[in-house]
Amino acid sequence: MQKHIIRIGSRDSKLAVMQTELIIRAVANYHPEIQFELVTMKTTGDMLADRTLDKIGGKGLFVKELNAALSEGRIDCCVHSLKDMPMEENPEFPITALFQRGDPRDVLVLPQTQCFQDMTAQIGSSSFRRQLQLKKLFPSCRCLPVRGNIITRLQKLDSGGFSALVLAGAGLRRAGLSHRISRCFSTEEMIPAAGQGILAVQSRKDETASLFSCIHNTESAYAALAERTFVRALNGDCSSPIAAYAQIHGTELKLTGLYAGEQQQEYAVGSVAGNTEQAAQLGQQLANTLKGRL
């Protein structure tokens, strides 16, 4: 009997493909009757890799082409890193599953032949969220923008362009590059981006949602709801120095957030805790609290 084919879209970077293949393998364990066809494409965010995201329209550029492919029926669903998705969910292309969260931490990556000297460090990071927290950890460091996929960034690092990079630990691990991690920052030292480490499946409205329910992780869903509500309440986007991380223990959710003022000269950090069923309310509550401190 011929298998039913599901076309699943992905950015064409090595990491994006490996993450999509991770989702395919997980779903195939539950649905051996399905044949997945991987469809890769380059997004606007990938093609404009010489400019920082805040100058070219934000992280929504990583989903634009995939949404178009969904709308035109060229793919049936697609996989994203949740942290790269706009905070406002498109009702026509809802998130239908959130995979079990990977390592949420940011990590320090050094050149293969050098040691880190924080007094003279030029650290590659285009994220205002990371830059703000790096200056507290390494007051003498200089943060320089860096774009491109993981392989491109590592090549820039190893060729002498930077003293170090700060990247998402989950991405390096999924790409088989965990050996490049020199230091893992605790989530207290460097509060992650909302949704960091979580993979999201996006589909057309009312289509294929049930297919991916087998991999949907409840803890990821509660964490994502709290973190993304916090960022939305602060009108955050990719150019905003906002961080959010939810830890879940049983039915208890603790949300920690960072919010910087418009001039980014000062920022507030705080936490709130409650039941997982209150995830959205906790995100809103923490946003209101931190706004009141600046």
How many CB atoms sit inside 10 A of residue 47's CB? Answer: 11
**Helix-strand-coil percent breakdown of the chain, rounded to 5?**
35, 25, 35
Helices 218-233 and 279-291: angle between axes, nearest 10 degrees: 30
> Which backbone phi and psi does 198 adopt, to 5 degrees?
-105, 130
Q: How many CB atoms lie within 10 A of CB 162?
A: 23
**Annotated catalytic residue within 46, 76, 84, 106:** 84
Residue in the block written with tokens 């697609």: 78
Please give the Cα distance from 85 to 66 (Å, whole number).
Answer: 11
103 is catalytic: no
CB 233 within 8 A of CB 88: no
Give the pairing of strands 34-41 and 4-11. Answer: parallel
**Distance between CA atoms of residues 204 and 167, nearest Å:** 31
The C-alpha angle 272, 273, 277, rounded to 5 degrees, equals 125
Active-site residue set: 84
